[in-house]
Structure 1
């Protein structure tokens, strides 16, 4: 069974930088939308666009066939799903719960197992693409869960992203997102150092970007965050505090598998230094401040 816009009510928990844009795209696709956020003010724009505010996670779960969560930390995911007033306790049998937060692979497996006991379909589907990808509906969506559940919710995913891949059973989406974050963490060090080097050497960093962005050094971070570094634009597409959270999850997961990740350890130390200097709510491109 596919979940078409005309027949499906979606609940959305978490209307921050990413979640708000994702929810807007669901409304644009024609889905009826219920919303909940810890601070009601953050959801007001969505309500003005036609979403229905729900006072609690439980109320939202009871009124929705599909619930998407996009919250901050694994502890928030655990509370939203497993608490007494949480999604699994209040969602109807047959509902689809999709956690799109970057969270712990082990927790994702736990949520899927708890959902299965109640006849609820749970998927982990973290995303990549930042605020721009969320705004434009072009997120990369990495999914863990059962294939039949994935096939059912593809129309929902297609309202938010363009590169949507089932990676394997529960937890696989989160493991894939950790691969993504490991790559980004080290790459951002290179982008920041290259931009700082270009500036120190007297080059025009915009021209440098034009040259190296299309070659072997090219990356999403270089093309999208390099210009923000040059402009001194540190507005968060993705918060420093959240990349630290993701790096810690990745390190813990790697250690469980007996894998050393020295590049990730370096990135963690640099971002923690940046946060200690008051930049935890800046975008990850603020890393260049350590070099200036």
Structure 2
């Protein structure tokens, strides 16, 4: 059972993971941290988090373990094997993968964890660096209702729109649907800004008009202003968006339907990455349209 005295282990302290861990610290939870590059966790350690030298070490002393890593291969490395979470987490521990990953991998983690008396749930998020920093993430969960209810207090610290979508893997499927919706929207935002400039309009004033109407979206209201300011710092990396879209495209193909808008967005982002922008934020897509 999750209580205020539960110890939370955090694996991954990147753009979003660091803010999520900080919010949990500020909510009063005791935090352990492991990441491949220790310096990325220094801010959390300075605030009182405990450092663990390995996944296994962190698992041994944590009641709840949250993973927020980069790619499905990273998820596999963290969860499986003799030094992974499933082999080393305490019986009765909760393991929560908040990475955007493959639905089939989430299902495999759930099955193997259950065999060892560990409670697993997939819970990818949306909201970028702003949502993570403000504790306003959308959290899309897949797993058992009881597990979801048990760990809800933790989710409540991290997000606002928190929903159980179905069985294991459902959270990942929901996040992929989210990324599909964002993919073509980002193209539209870039085209709208360039169109406004070509027409001789003040693009900031245009955004003020259209961001509250039918065209409104997170990308239009939060990322478009960054485009105008030339701010391409990553709230969400181009390389990770490419990963997400690739998984979504493969998943759609497995289900037997085409996603031409997603395919186009993926191709454009690959072009952007080839120009050296893989570590930029997704708003850097505007560079292709302004070139």
Matches within 5 A, 1:117-156: 117-156=115-154
Q: Which residue of 2 aligns with 1:253?
A: 251
Gaps of 5+ in 1: none
Q: Which residue of 2 aligns with 1:101?
A: 99
Query: Structure 1 residue 166 and structure 2 residue 170: aligned?
Result: no
SS at structure 2 position matched to 1:258: coil
Q: State the alpha-carbon separation in 2 of the partners of residues 199 and 83 from structure 1.
A: 54
| Superposed structure 1 runs of 4+ greater than 6 Å apart | none
Gaps of 5+ in 2: none
Q: State the alpha-carbon separation in 2 of the partners of residues 114 and 192 from structure 1.
A: 43
Deviations along 1:6-41, one digit per CA (max 9) or x if unpaired, are x20000000000000000000011000000000000
Q: State the alpha-carbon separation in 1 of the partners of residues 95 and 38 from structure 2.
A: 22
Q: Which residue of 2 aligns with 1:4?
A: 3
Q: State the alpha-carbon separation in 1 of the partners of residues 20 and 214 from structure 2.
A: 32
Q: State the alpha-carbon separation in 1 of the partners of residues 262 and 160 from structure 2.
A: 28
Q: 1:164, CA displacement in angstroms?
A: 0.5
Matches within 5 A, 1:57-76: 57-76=55-74
Q: 1:257, CA displacement in angstroms?
A: 0.6
Q: 1:61, CA displacement in angstroms?
A: 0.3
Q: 1:196, CA displacement in angstroms?
A: 1.2
Q: Which residue of 1 aligns with 2:224?
A: 226
Aligned length: 290
Q: Which residue of 2 aligns with 1:277?
A: 275
Query: Structure 1 residue 40 and structure 2 residue 38: aligned?
Result: yes
Q: 1:119, CA displacement in angstroms?
A: 0.6
Of stretches 196-205 and 229-238 in structure 1, the one that deviates more from structure 2 is 196-205
Coordinate RMSD, CA, aligned = 0.6
Q: 1:197, CA displacement in angstroms?
A: 1.1
Q: State the alpha-carbon separation in 2 of the partners of residues 193 and 25 from structure 1.
A: 36
Matches within 5 A, 1:203-222: 203-222=201-220
Q: 1:181, CA displacement in angstroms?
A: 0.2
Matches within 5 A, 1:15-34: 15-34=13-32
Q: Which residue of 2 aligns with 1:113?
A: 111
Q: State the alpha-carbon separation in 1 of the partners of residues 275 and 199 from structure 2.
A: 26
Query: Structure 1 residue 242 and structure 2 residue 221: aligned?
Result: no
- Structure 1 length-normalised TM: 0.99
SS at structure 2 position matched to 1:203: coil
- Structure 2 length-normalised TM: 0.99
